Amino acid sequence: MSAYGKMVVAGIRSRENRQVRASVVSSASKRVLTDFVRRNAKRGSTLYTDELPSYDGMREFFHESVAHGRGEYVRDDVHINGMESFWALIKRGHKSTYHKMSPKHLHRYVDEFSGRYNSRRLGARRQMALVALRMRGQRLPWRKLTE
C-alpha cells in the first residue's frame, strides 16, 4: 500500500504487439518498479514513462519520459497514451461496474482487465472461447474467496 493508503498497480505495454502486462506491486519505489520492468520488458528496448523518478537509472533500457506535471503529454514518439488507455479502462470498470475493488482481490481485477485489453481485437466468439479455455481447471472456492 502506498503512502496515500492506495494500492499500487504497475503496468507496461508493448508498442510492438500492443499487449499489456500489469500487476499489483508493493510500492512505487525505484526498486519495486525496476524489478517489474526488468521482468516484463526486453533488455535494450525503449522505455517510455511519465516523470516519476522511480524510473530513472534503468541502464539496460533506453529511457524517454514526458513531464505530465508540466503539461507535456506527447513529444514526437515519446508518450504513454497506450498505457493511459489501459488505466482508463480499469477506472471505468471501477466506477461503472464494480464500484469497489478490495485490496484482497485487486490482483484478480487487474488480471481480468489485462485479459480484456489484450483480447480486445478478437471477435466476441473468440473472446468467449478464450475465457472458457482459461477457466478450465480453475476453481475459486467460497472459503478461499472469503478468508
Decide if pLDDT at 23 tops 70: yes
Which residues lie below 8 Å from residue 60, measured CB to CB, with a gap of 6+? Answer: 38, 43, 44
CATH of the domain at 111: 3.30.420
Is residue 3 one of the residues assigned to a domain? no
Is 102 a domain residue?
yes
The verdict on residue 2 lying in a domain is no
Q: CA 35, CA 16: separation in Å to the nearest integer? A: 21
Q: What is the pLDDT at residue 12?
A: 96
Residue 63 domain-assigned?
yes
pLDDT, greater one: 5 or 49: 49
Which H, E and C letters describe the chain, residue by residue? Answer: CCCCCCCEEEEEECCCCCCEEEEEECCCCHHHHHHHHHHHCCCCCEEEECCCHHHCCCCCCEEEECCHHHCCCCECCECCHHHHHHHHHHHHHHHHHHCCCCHHHHHHHHHHHHHHHHCCCCCHHHHHHHHHHHHCCCCCCHHHHHC
Q: Count how many domains the chain has.
A: 1
Query: How far apart, in whole angstroms, are the C-alpha atoms of residue 142 and residue 125?
Result: 29
Q: 92 lies in a domain?
A: yes
> Is pLDDT at 4 greater than 80 in this prediction?
no
Is residue 48 domain-resident?
yes
Residue 1 lies in a domain: no
What does pTM read for this prediction? 0.81
More confident call, 99 vs 11? 11
Per-residue model confidence as pLDDT tens digits over 33-91: 999 999 999 999 999 999 999 998 888 899 999 999 999 999 999 999 999 999 999 99
Instruction: Give, to the nearest 10 degrees, the angle between helix 106-118 and helix 124-135.
Output: 140
- Output the pLDDT for position 15: 93
- Does residue 39 form part of some domain? yes
pLDDT at 59: 86
Cα 12 vs. chain centroid, distance in angstroms? Answer: 6
Q: How many CA atoms lie within 13 A of 122 on its CB side?
A: 14
The whole domain housing 113 covers 8-146
Give per-residue pLDDT as tens, 116-131: 899 888 888 988 888 8
